[in-house]
Structure 1
Amino acid sequence: MDIVHLLRAVSVEFGLRQAEFAARNGMHPTDVRALICLLDAARADEPATAGLLGTRLGLNSAGTTAVIDRLERLGHVSRTRDPHDRRRVLLQIEPGALRLGHTFFDPLITDLLAVISSFAPPEQSTIRHFLTSARTAFTPEPHR
């Protein structure tokens, strides 16, 4: 149980940093989670749609629209037509939002990377396996 409690503590701390970033930048914590989802979609080369965002955040259509509208009003996200399917709207993070995130989170990421690099490659592999498996354990059944 010690590892479970430590994982929960790390999760709480990460959530607190996200909430701090949100508060400093006039956002709701869900807005930060939405930006993270959009960054993950871009990294995975997935089309970022409102449907994808709503599913990943566990929001209904109205809640998803409210998040997107807030992020668009703040200049963090833009909506564009999919060049391959003009009926579909894609979401894109604006460069200013990326800069804002880098300013706040880069020092934390740098510290975390230093911790990770202190582990030997086989230990890093074990950590990666654990975190991947933990994420799967927390993922609701339909999404597995």
Structure 2
Amino acid sequence: MYRRRDTRREMLVAEITAELRRYCVDAQHVGHAFAGQHGLNGTDLQALIAVMDAELSGEPITPGRLAEHLDLSSGSVTALIDRLERAGHLRRDRDTTDRRKVLLHYAEQGATVARDFFRPLGERTDGVMDEFQDEELEIVYRFITAMGQSLREHRDAIRDGRVTPPPRHRAG
């Protein structure tokens, strides 16, 4: 199964791939710990992350977009939102420009709970980033953004039943 890595690049690519895999697994463990401590399941956690990401981008998410993101039916996403709202994690607000539209936001109680849990990780992350120059962070950002896009494309291909091998990229 494992083949010998002959070039420095092959060894580096293998190590980066292994580190990304470990990072994903470790991040899942942290997320599951948060979910377990607060009576959430995996879908609840994915929903909260989607709401947080939408808020951070300045475009709060609607229940319909959340349903699409999580691949849930309208009834299932309504039950999920109801549950998270009762638990104090989410709130629904009417859009100020279109009162027919409902926007989802992190509720203050939920945001406080998340901040308290993830603050130590944020401090560790800040410490790691402080060790890199701006130019290095720009390269890391470009890399991680491209890797994330690649993963989402593969996820969507799996979801749509059209999994195909990725194109081979050649240097040169």
TM-score (norm 2): 0.76
Q: Which has the higher contact order (CA 8 A, sep 6+)?
A: 1
Q: Using the alignment, how far apart are the partners of 2:93 and 2:132 within structure 1?
A: 43
Q: Using the alignment, how far apart are the partners of 2:147 and 2:76 within structure 1?
A: 27
Partner residue in 1 for 2:55: 42
Partner residue in 2 for 1:8: 21
**Of residues 107, 124, 128 in structure 2, which corresponds to 1:94?**
107
Partner residue in 2 for 1:117: 130
> AA paired with 1:33?
Q
- Greater alpha carbon shift after TM alignment, 75-84 vs 11-20: 75-84
> AA paired with 2:81?
I
Q: Are residues 1:76 and 2:89 paired?
A: yes
- Quote the offset at 1:62 in angstroms: 3.0
Q: Using the alignment, how far apart are the partners of 1:98 and 1:61 within structure 2?
A: 25
TM-score (norm 1): 0.90
Q: Secondary structure at the match of 1:78?
A: strand
Partner residue in 2 for 1:131: 144
Q: Is the 8 A contact 2:44 2:80 kept in 1?
A: yes
> AA paired with 1:23?
G
> AA paired with 2:127?
A
Q: Using the alignment, how far apart are the partners of 1:63 and 1:3 within structure 2?
A: 38
Q: Identity percentage over the alignment?
A: 35
Partner residue in 2 for 1:62: 75
Contiguous gaps of at least 5 residues in structure 2: 1-13, 157-172
- Equivalent residues, number: 142
Structure with greater strand percent: 1
**Of residues 47, 51, 66 in structure 1, which corresponds to 2:64?**
51
Q: Secondary structure at the match of 2:100?
A: strand
